[in-house]
Structure 1
Amino acid sequence: MTSTTVPDSAQPSSSLPDILVAAIALIRDRRVLMVTARGRDVIFMPGGKIDAGETAAEGAAREAWEEVGLRLDPAALTEMFTVAIQAHGEPDGRLVRMRVFAAETDADPQPSAEVSALHWATTADLFRCPPAGAEVLRLLAERGLID
């Protein structure tokens, strides 16, 4: 696992706590699964906030089920990296700290009630992503996993 973090000197001082989230990276044909949440115009990694009492892998697996109907075993998820970056739609200095897990399944994802559409994204979709999603796309491309 590697981490992408904002250097301390680049982090604005803020009393707001980081938003801790976990997401899955399901990659097929050099594209990664992303979603559009209802009422939103940007695309996100399938994931969300980690609930109290659950591990990041458990949170990623739960969110995969809730958002795209995939039943994933948290123990089978492999942590890839953590992205820490300005949180989309939050005050300056509030970071989202997203732990990204590689997921594998033969099942076909399906949008849930909170997701309006699925997208198989590449770096050509950077402009459609909030900062954390764009950074994930860049890191996946650097690793040669997506176009």
Structure 2
Amino acid sequence: MRNQENQIEPAITKVVETANWILRDGAKILSVRSHGRDRFYLPGGKIDPGETARDAIQREINEELGVSLIPGTIRTLGTFAGQGHNQPDGAIVRMTCFTAYYTGELAPSREIAELRWLTPRERDLMAPMGQKITAALFDI
């Protein structure tokens, strides 16, 4: 397959399904950085076998940030796909993104080293898919 620049693109070898939370505070978006990683990501993670995306987002957010999403407020925002950060060529990440209200106090836990509210101007600190989604959310 060729892209817009007429270059041959690698074949898709793997699809990683994730569930991610979009939490905005005005012109900022909640982002997290895992221990040992150099980029920020949208909170969430891989969908386990037999798990729905909705179940995964609730589990992942509780594990990563110590808060509970309020089930009746969880809404699917959309699905975005592209080359995964730190993934081999041809590995695609398909991110099902949700919005939701939550209870509790946001705090990094388990594998999360840092959480940060990033502005669209700071999206270069994010992994490529986070940059793509942030650009779409803020229409830039």
Matches of 1:103 and 1:135 in 2, distance apart? 20
Shift of 1:105: 2.5
* Aligned residue in 1 for 2:41: 44
* Aligned residue in 2 for 1:3: none
CA, structure 1 residues 121+135, in 2 after alignment: closer, same or farther (shift >3 Å)? same
- Spell out structure 1 runs of 4+ moving beyond 2 A: 8-15, 73-76, 105-108
Matches of 1:31 and 1:115 in 2, distance apart? 19
**Of 9, 27, 31, which aligns to 1:12?**
9
Shift of 1:75: 4.8
- Number of corresponding residues: 136
Compute the RMSD of aligned alpha carbons: 2.0
**Of 94, 105, 109, which aligns to 1:108?**
105
* Aligned residue in 1 for 2:131: 134
Matches within 5 A, 1:62-141: 62-105=59-102, 107-141=104-138
Shift of 1:84: 0.5
TM-score normalised per structure 1: 0.83
Indicate conservation of the 8 Å contact 2:69/2:103, yes or no: no
Shift of 1:119: 0.5
Shift of 1:14: 2.4
TM-score normalised per structure 2: 0.87
CA, structure 1 residues 99+77, in 2 after alignment: closer, same or farther (shift >3 Å)? same
User: Is there any run of 5+ residues in structure 2 with no aligned partner, and where?
Assistant: none
Q: Secondary structure at the match of 1:89?
A: coil
User: Is there any run of 5+ residues in structure 1 with no aligned partner, and where?
Assistant: 1-7
Matches of 1:73 and 1:12 in 2, distance apart? 41
